[in-house]
A and B are shown apart, each in its own frame.
Chain A
Amino acid sequence: MSKRVTIDPVTRIEGHLRVDVEVDGGRVKKAWASGQMWRGVENILVGRDPRDAWAITQRICGVCTTVHAITSVRAVENALQLEVPVNAQYIRNMIMLAHATHDHIVHFYHLSALDWVDVVSALKADPKKAATLAQSLSNWNGNSEAEFKKVQEKLKGFVGTGQLGIFTNGYWGHPAMKLTPEVNLLAVVHYLQALEVQRYANKIVSILGSKSPHIQNLAVGGVANPLSVDSQSVLTIERLLAVKEWIEKLDDFVKNVYLVDVAAIGAFYADWTKVGKGITDYLCVPDVPLDSKGTQFALPGGYIEGGKLESYKPIKTFGDKYFTDGVSEAVKHSWYEYGAGDEKSLHPYQGETKPKYTDFQDNGKYSWLKSPTFYGKPMQVGPLARVLNMLAAGHEPTKKYATGALDLVSQIAGTKVGLDAMHSTIGRHAARAVGCAVQMDELKNQWDLLLANMAKGDLKTFNKPTFPKGEQMGVGFHEAPRGVLSHWVVIDSGKIKNYQCVVPTTWNAAPRNEKDAPGAYEACLLDNPVADPEKPLEVLRTVHSFDPCLACAVHVVDKEDNPVVTVKAV
């Protein structure tokens, strides 16, 4: 007999997501992903000055502040066909790459590792053995026996007080937890070290972005950082040297700890390379522009059909028609209505944001997320889509880190693990780590490019925008940590006439589309094992592997007399 399990809210994510699954014979047979908040930010932007949009969209989400800000200025620049000085591109690129690195480290260690790592079991570990294992995998200087002992003692004290604090929402002792106490201890040690290291990424963002946690340096047409070789009040060589030092520290951690840990955990959970495949149509956009027009990119992007790298079709420039013509959004299963009827899907330039709430209807409307499609098909976006597209494009650094990671997994697992294993729940984690290593190389490269350009005497960071009479349309896209993000703006005589954000989590957590085809979460959950429907840890593993961020949807739909949290599972 099938059993319905509702997880509401899914914890350790940003925002409010509900997931329903029907479980039969220990496997998921049907799944629904439902965004439980309303996103009405588009309506706020109508009538405003396009130059202010980035500062407003930065407020959509506390995790993706810079991400929305950068995408917004790109959209307005695209509408105006405005070029951006290369210095501004380099500075924006560094902010983006540092932010993405922060996001990936925090996601793996602080938001999703607890699905795989049993913190309580780490208490039983032999710290010497654990340190020896860690040293056999990496020469990171934080893998000493003394360090492992210290962390274990601290953990004992913490668990002894009966308060797990930050580790509260874990499924300790769940039968799906497979790591040895030593590997669990290794993960806890690195969890704490990751807390330290993520600060460097933040420091980079706040120095380059002029303020933290909300950056202030962006402008339509460039950045507001005056560059100088000596002045105290601006971005000086001295500050840039500090940035360089933080980049090196992050780089060390990403390549010698994060990438290694993901490979190790992946090898120990090899079963999970066969779970969570779902949608294998992968979309990503190129990013890290190298010229003022956005025609050359350090990181390629495109579309892969059915997981076949040879089907790769590139997206080449900002505003590429292949991308802009392909995107549309459906609301047949979403709590919105379209003027022309809910059976249609609309291109974002014609997008409408009119709420129409019903109850949760299994076969009707059940989510505040719209359902985006690319040429009529639901997509998977995010790190896996990114890495596969970059491999398909022949991007050398991606090849290097992907091959390195798969070789390490094969070595630990004692069996050959190939690229096919990436189309899975654990593969999404691996792809995120591989992508992060690629980003670190590019972050260093962007720093070099900025310094080299300044040395040539080019200190320009801004081109002033002018708004002609009449209507202009533009799209800004960004390969954000969670995947393809696009902002679509229609400007009429200097004022915003329409604005739509199509965000990565909307692609992945989408409900069924106008043809009733499921979104990526829903498809990837099919056939997931569920050992105990009361403790659906395995469902969370697959959902968390996407790094859900629902806050782009921000709106708490509770009423005072109606408790918001129906925690049916942690």
Chain B
Amino acid sequence: MRVVVLGIGNILLSDEGVGVRAVERLEEEYHLPPEVEVIDGGTCGMEMLDQLESLDALVVVDCVRHGKAPGTPILLKGDEVPVFFKTKLSPHQVSLSDVLASLEFEDRAPKYASIVGIQPASLDTGMELTPEIAAKVPELVAMAVAELRGLGLKVEEKA
């Protein structure tokens, strides 16, 4: 089994980078089994083709603008995943959607994909998350952990 937890977003645009910050935290705080690779994808696209091909599962952690109050988490699965990539415009999603479409065409798309996201409070220039989103990072990490456990993987908090 091969599983990738992919944090994406631009860490120079405050809450836009929450996905990257969350996967950093996941690696710091949890023992992950060898099947799981954590990738800080930033805003990259085609450069990740290799790492994302023929996965059993892909869990994307990202900032998602879904029209709710800042800090509201969201979990997207199944058919909602491609819809998310088609409608959300941000500098990075264009290329990730290209990667997934390419993998689809090559019959190497992930068997399962989900998106763990959170509504941002600010996308202003800056390397820090806003306090209200920073406070929600543990919740986002817990959602990613729940996704991994749902796949039958053993994920334990570090002592």
Contact = CB atoms under 8 A, between A and B. Distances in A.
Interface in A1-41: 9, 11, 14-16, 37-38, 40-41
B10 A59 contact: yes
B104 A59 contact: no
B50 interface: yes
A554 B10 contact: yes
B82 to A, nearest CB: 9
Given A44-B126, A555-B13, A110 B46 contact: yes
Interface residues of B, number: 35
Interface stretch (B21-29, B84-92, B140-148): B84-92
Contact of A556 (B12, B42, B45, B123): B123
Nearest to A200: B50
A56 B125 contact: no
B79 interface: no
B95 A62 contact: yes
B155 interface: no
A485 interface: no
A62 B12 contact: no
A62 B92 contact: yes
Contacts of A198: 46, 49
Contact of A199 (B41, B49, B89, B104): B49
A22 B18 CA distance: 41
Contact of B42 (A65, A106, A110): A65
A212 B51 CA distance: 9
A558 B89 contact: yes
A392 to B, nearest CB: 33
27 contacts: A9-B89, A11-B94, A16-B89, A44-B126, A59-B10, A59-B11, A61-B43, A62-B91, A62-B95, A65-B42, A65-B47, A102-B46, A110-B98, A166-B104, A166-B105, A168-B101, A195-B102, A195-B106, A198-B46, A212-B48, A212-B51, A213-B41, A213-B42, A214-B40, A554-B12, A556-B89, A558-B89
Interface of B: 10-13, 39-51, 65, 67, 89-92, 94-95, 98, 101-102, 104-106, 123, 125-127
Given A44-B126, A59-B10, 19 more contacts: A61-B43, A63-B45, A63-B95, A165-B104, A166-B102, A195-B102, A202-B49, A202-B50, A203-B50, A212-B51, A213-B47, A551-B43, A554-B10, A555-B13, A556-B89, A556-B91, A556-B123, A558-B89, A560-B65
Interface of A: 9, 11, 14-16, 37-38, 40-41, 43-44, 56, 59-63, 65, 102, 106, 110, 154, 158, 165-166, 168, 192, 195, 198-199, 202-203, 205, 212-214, 551, 554-556, 558, 560, 564-565
